[in-house]
Structure 1
Amino acid sequence: MHDLLAPLYAQHLTTLRARADKALALGGFDHLVIAASMPLRKYLDDQDYPFVANPHFRHWLPLTDTPGSWIVYTPGHKPKLIFLQPKDYWHVVPEAPHGYWVDHFDIEIVRNATDAVALLPGADTRRAIIGPECPAVPGAEANNPQVVLDYLHWHRSYKTPYELALVREASRIGARAHTAAEQAFRAGESEFDIHMAYLAAARQIDAELPYASIVALNEHGAVLHYTHFDRKAPLQNRSFLIDAGASASGYASDITRTYAAYGHSEFQALIDSVDAAQQAFAAKVRAGQSYPELHIHAHHVLANVLREHGVIRMSAESAVASGVTSTFFPHGLGHPIGLQVHDVAGFQASESGGTIARPQGHPYLRMTRVLEPGMVVTIEPGLYFIDMLLDELRAKPEARDIDWAKVDSFRPYGGIRIEDDVVCTDGAPENLTRDAFARI
């Protein structure tokens, strides 16, 4: 992996420097200062939450566990890393910088946060400091100028070859762990034990994953963000929905699969239909495709899936127009992904900022951009049987066009979601997730 990443990283850094030059010029700044940030302290406690480095910091460096460190970039000069390596016997001290990237930085090692701040461009300079507002570091409070952020976030949508290599690696780790989780489900394990099997196969702890895993058996699949983890296996494992990702040098994968237990053929047939629809949506991740239009198209296709499986009796057009499909598919089709699971600029109108509104009636869609080469998005349609939403539908006139007996037969399975990470290219899309599973 090192031999692959080294030349790609050099190209990546050249791209970041060019973007930073333009962003700083637009804002009238001379220096870009990026905080790795510090751990957040738990309320009324002397312990911290697991550290998550500023994504802007991770964009420049494959360092995910160096709190208190800084990057300083001044156009025309080599980037500088101010690396905090404290004298500490309470915690593991970060190793001295090493790897394919070190020759591209001037590196200064300091022992405390105050010394790190002393090496930053002074408060009397024109500096754009990118980082979280809390906790502030005295003498280097973040100002996060919007004009700089808008430009950097917009262009972060277009992944470099280096970034794509890391997202592919995150996908390979995730697919390997998903396979182990399915095997644990087939063996009749509990949600907790399935989760442990996932972590073991990924070789990552919870804090290293890009988001909290969703491991849902049976009706728990109807809770969109189910993270409870029952310790005891149910009397019967009917279905299994897992939404879990993995990390590679700060880049994320986001994968969802749904399985039916052997012998539950009717639910398996519904999974197969959603899977076929999902693959067709992923095939439309092409340059020029409006993401919200793809989301609306998905509603029409899923309406036909519901018709074919006897859940609704109305036309697809009526089901979408009346909002019936939103009862069964209440979330968005997906989102940008990269350094963050829900990556930045999904609604941004241009590199100067602005917002592209969601389609009316679709408040949970997380992207409204037109797809362009270099973007990476998730495609994650779903069909669920959620009691709260079904009760609301029962009170509407459209309830007469629902086969409620069929709905009740599916309710014990919770629901279905299938999610792949897909790269928009100049031609056919690259499905990172399907490729990763095919390698296993």
Structure 2
Amino acid sequence: MHLPDPAPLYADHLRTLTARADTALTRAGRDHLVIPSGRLHYQVFDDRDYPFAVNPHFKHWLPLTRVPDSWIVYTPGKRPQLIFNQPRDYWHVVPAAPSGWWVEHFDIHIIREPEQALALLPADPARCAVLGEANSTLGGFAPDNPAAVIDHLHWHRSFKTPYEIALMRHAQVPAVRAHRAAEAAFRAGASEFEIHMTYCAAAQQDANELPYGNIIALNENGAVLHYTELDKQRPANPRSFLIDAGASAWGYAADITRTYAADGHAEFQALIAAVDAAQQQLCAQVTAGFDYRQLHLDAHLALAGILKDFDIINVSAEAALATGVSNAFFPHGIGHPIGAQVHDVAGFAQGEHGGFIERPAGQPYLRMTRVLQPGMVVTIEPGLYFIDMLLEDLRAAGQADAVNWDRVAFFKPYGGIRIEDEVLCTADQADNLTRPIFAESKE
């Protein structure tokens, strides 16, 4: 698959960001937008730092993710400035001099110590909107994240520029390559830890570069939604494999989930195939004007229908949704916005001035409630799980008769199923960013 070159798209991306910033600053009555890249966090009573995570507002402007103590300054009508910390340091690798497709668009100032940024930042911190976390404070420049600025910028970050979409397409490639390698390791009998290491090697990204901690779950562990234990012991009887793992490209995330059955487990493979077919139908609903809340409820109906078809529940899909039975098997949301952050911002926003759109009743874990519009990228990740705690809650709620417990006992050793792709909403049909890369890798 031909991947788009981000370089020629960057100038338009930057124009979009400066236009958004102009409006946000006017609304907040501020003169300058100031964005620290972030500072290192240190472990308590120790001098060991945690892995650095760049301020997402910073990497929204620049494809730089490993530059602590640097700053972006934007003043309407002027070229944006980058204050780039390149310390004199023989303990650590010093960041290379700025280079790439973006440098011609910035005035760049090199500093050797964080405090040197003060001479280059605007004269009056009170006239600045400073976006970041508290530990980025330098002198009088303390992040205040004014709501008028944050609400406007977060709302518009929902609509990805062509440059951002290009980066997200690039992120799919190492993720899919690594997913293929992980499946092969599973089929060769590897442990969760060995599969994880295989994944990182194939993605050519270590745990600090990946956008989130890999979920590598064999057998019953697939029933733990955020399972990250990475058991080093190879299972005696591998039955199933659920992998939720991504990759990064210039700070933008891929977030992909697949589930596999071991050879000889045909009925679980059939259940996977049914969920996969439902997932693709749900992906196709990512169209302009469609309410993401309804898509979530449609997922419940589709999955409850599968449970009924496989004789796991004894009630209709509609009854399963109305009574909460489907929640016991599908206890999370259908997905989330994604971009510069894995769980991207403004999933509940009513508009560019803020506000909150409530979740549907009885659906507390849905991460987005907005109407889909062109430029939005969301994940679609339906799942079915066999979780003891939730099944016990069903019994306690008087819903035991709705479940075929013999069939639950049969499927429980497999843990669960989740299938996840990233999908771009366009003015026409849904654009699945993930599936074409899988198809090409198979060829």
Relative to the length of structure 1, the TM-score reads: 0.99
Separation in structure 2 between the aligned mates of residue 299 and residue 339 of structure 1, nearest angstrom: 28
Partner residue, 1:128: 129
- Say whether the 8 Å CA contact 1:40–1:135 is kept in structure 2: no
Correspondence 1:180-259 to 2 at 5 A: 180-259=181-260
Counterpart code for 1:314? V
After superposing the two structures, state which structure 1 stretch, 244-253 or 110-119, moved more.
110-119
Cα root mean square deviation, aligned: 1.1
AA at the equivalent of 1:22: T
After superposition, residues 59-70 of structure 1 pair within 5 angstroms as 59-70=60-71
2:320 matches 1:296: no
CA 1:3–1:111: 2 relative to 1, 3 Å? farther
Query: 1:135, CA displacement in angstroms?
Result: 4.5
Please list, as runs of the form range in 1=range in 2, the aligned pairs for 1:238-317 lying within 5 A after superposition: 238-317=239-318
Alignment-derived partner of residue 357 in structure 2: 356
Pairwise CA distance, 1:2: 11
CA 1:420–1:148: 2 relative to 1, 3 Å? same
- One-letter amino acid matched to 1:301: A
Deviations for 1:213-272, whole angstroms, at most 9, x for unmatched residues? 100000000000000000011001100000000000000010000000011001001000
Question: Given that residues 152 and 352 in structure 2 are in contact (C-alpha distance below 8 angstroms), is that contact kept between their aligned partners in structure 1?
Answer: yes
Matching residue's letter, 1:150: D
TM, length-normalised to structure 2: 0.98
- Residues 215 and 243 in structure 1, CA contact (< 8 A), matched pair in contact too: yes
**Retained in 2: the 8 A contact 1:2–1:100?**
no
- Stretches of structure 2 lacking an aligned partner (at least 5 in a row): none
Whether the 8 Å CA contact 1:155–1:351 is kept in 2: the answer is: yes
Query: What residue in structure 2 maps to residue 330 of structure 1?
Result: 331
Q: CA–CA distance in 1 between the matches of 2:241 and 2:194?
A: 13
Equivalent position amino acid for 1:95 in 2: A
The 2-side partners of 1:125 and 1:368 are apart by 35
Q: 3-state DSSP class of the match of 2:189? A: coil
- How big is each residue's C-alpha offset from its partner over 1:153-193, in whole Å with a ceiling of 9 and x where there is no partner? 00000000000000001111111110000000000000000
- 1:75-100 deviations in Å (ceiling 9; x for gaps): 11000000000001111110000011
Aligned length: 440
Alignment of 1:420-431 (within 5 A): 420-431=421-432
Letter matched to residue 308 of structure 1: D
Are 1:435 and 2:432 an aligned pair? no
Unaligned runs of 5+ in 1: none
Q: Distance in 2 between matches of 1:53 and 1:320?
A: 40
Q: CA deviation at 1:40?
A: 1.0
1:347-374 Cα distance to aligned partner (Å, 9 max, x none): 0000000000111100000000000000
**Do the aligned partners of residues 336 and 272 (structure 1) sit closer, same or farther apart at CA in structure 2, a change above 3 Å counting?**
same
CA contact (8 A) 1:348 1:356 kept: yes
Q: Deviations over 1:20-47 (max 9, x none)?
A: 1111111111100000010111111111
User: 1:401 aligns to what?
Assistant: 402
Q: Which amino acid aligns with 1:376?
A: V
Could you say which residue in structure 2 is the equivalent of 1:109?
110
Q: Deviation per CA, 1:45-92, whole angstroms, max 9, x where unpaired?
A: 111100010000000000000000000000110000000000011111
SS in 2 for 1:246: strand
- SS of residue matched to 2:423: strand
Query: Taking structure 1 as reference, are residues 124 and 289 closer, same or farther at Cα in structure 2, changes over 3 Å only?
Result: closer
C-alpha separation in 1, matches of 2:245 and 2:380? 14
CA–CA separation in structure 2 for the residues paired with 1:111 and 1:228? 40
- CA contact under 8 A between 1:327 and 1:393: conserved in structure 2? yes
Distance 1:163 1:259, change over 3 A: same
Give the match for residue 32 of structure 1: 33
Separation (CA, whole Å) in 2 of partners of 1:124 and 1:18: 22
| Alpha carbons of structure 1 residues 77 and 372: separation in structure 2 relative to 1, 3 Å | same
Distance change in 2, residues 1:223/1:124 (3 Å):
closer
Q: In structure 1, what is the Cα distance between the partners aligned to 2:131 and 2:125?
A: 17
Letter in 2 for 1:193: E
Name the SS of the counterpart of 1:24 in structure 2. Answer: helix
Per-residue CA distance 1:135-163 (angstroms, 9 max, x = gap): 53233111111100000000000000000
Which residue number corresponds to residue 146 of structure 1? Answer: 147
Determine the C-alpha separation between the residues in 1 that align with 2:310 and 2:87. 61
Which amino acid in 2 is paired with 1:181?
Answer: A
Q: Which residue of 1 aligns with 2:391?
A: 390
The letter for the 2-side match of 1:413 is Y
Query: 1:11 maps to which residue?
Result: 12
CA contact (8 A) 2:4 2:166 kept: no
Distance 2:5 2:273 in 1: 37
Give the match's secondary structure for 1:254: strand
CA distance in 2, matches of 1:152, 1:171: 26
- Gap change, CA 1:153 and 1:124, over 3 Å in 2: closer
Q: Report deviation, 1:204.
A: 0.3
SS at match of 1:245: strand
Question: Contact (CA 8 Å) 1:30, 1:125: kept in 2 or not?
Answer: no
Cα gap change, 1:399 to 1:316, in 2 (>3 Å) = same
Q: Secondary structure at the match of 1:354?
A: coil
Query: Is residue 3–residue 169 contact of structure 2 (8 Å, CA) maintained in 1?
Result: no
Name 2:412's counterpart in structure 1. 411
- Return closer, same or farther for 1:258/1:3 CA change in 2, 3 Å cut-off: closer
- Offset at 1:134? 2.4
Q: Which residue of 1 aligns with 2:100?
A: 99
Give the secondary structure class of the aligned counterpart of 2:9.
Answer: helix
The answer to whether the 8 A contact 1:289-1:371 is kept is yes
Identity %: 62
Looking at structure 2, the residues matched to 109 and 3 of structure 1 have their Cα atoms a distance apart, in angstroms, of 31
CA–CA distance in 2 between the matches of 1:215 and 1:19? 40
Q: Which amino acid is the alignment partner of residue 263 of structure 1?
A: G
